[in-house]
């Protein structure tokens, strides 16, 4: 069990653990048949397995936008996992990278 501490660290069974780095932001545009197929719910579910925070939402042009922060390698694994979970629906995933802002807590669907 993990307990959040105010200094950004976590405690597990009495041991201090370093908080995951949220130093990178990925702004991802998924295209293909990505609306009406459970894409957002799947993305939230996949995100629970990674040390990332952010959100996912449908766009008016039929794409899905996801903004996520975490370690770059963790974000790469997350994007690959979403594409794998939605294989056959994702045509492309365009990623814009920038420094993380630390503004997010958790990962959710944004409307």
Q: Among all residues, which ones are annotated catalytic?
A: 40, 58
Per-position DSSP letters for 34-56, written without gaps between them: -SSSSHHHHHHHHHTTSS-EEEE
- 28 contacts 97 by C-beta, under 8 angstroms: no
Which tokens is 62 given?
A: 């039929």
């Amino acid at each position: 069990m993990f307990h959040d501490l105010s200094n950004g660290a976590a405690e597990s069974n009495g041991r201090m653990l370093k908080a995951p780095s949220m130093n990178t932001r990925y702004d991802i545009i998924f295209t293909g048949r990505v609306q009406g197929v459970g894409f957002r719910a799947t993305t939230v579910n996949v995100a629970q397995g990674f040390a990332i925070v952010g959100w996912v939402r449908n766009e008016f042009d039929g794409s899905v936008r996801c903004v996520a922060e975490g370690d770059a390698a963790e974000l790469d694994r997350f994007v690959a996992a979403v594409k794998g979970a939605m294989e056959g629906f994702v045509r492309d995933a365009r990623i814009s990278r920038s420094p993380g802002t630390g503004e997010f807590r958790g990962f959710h669907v944004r409307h």
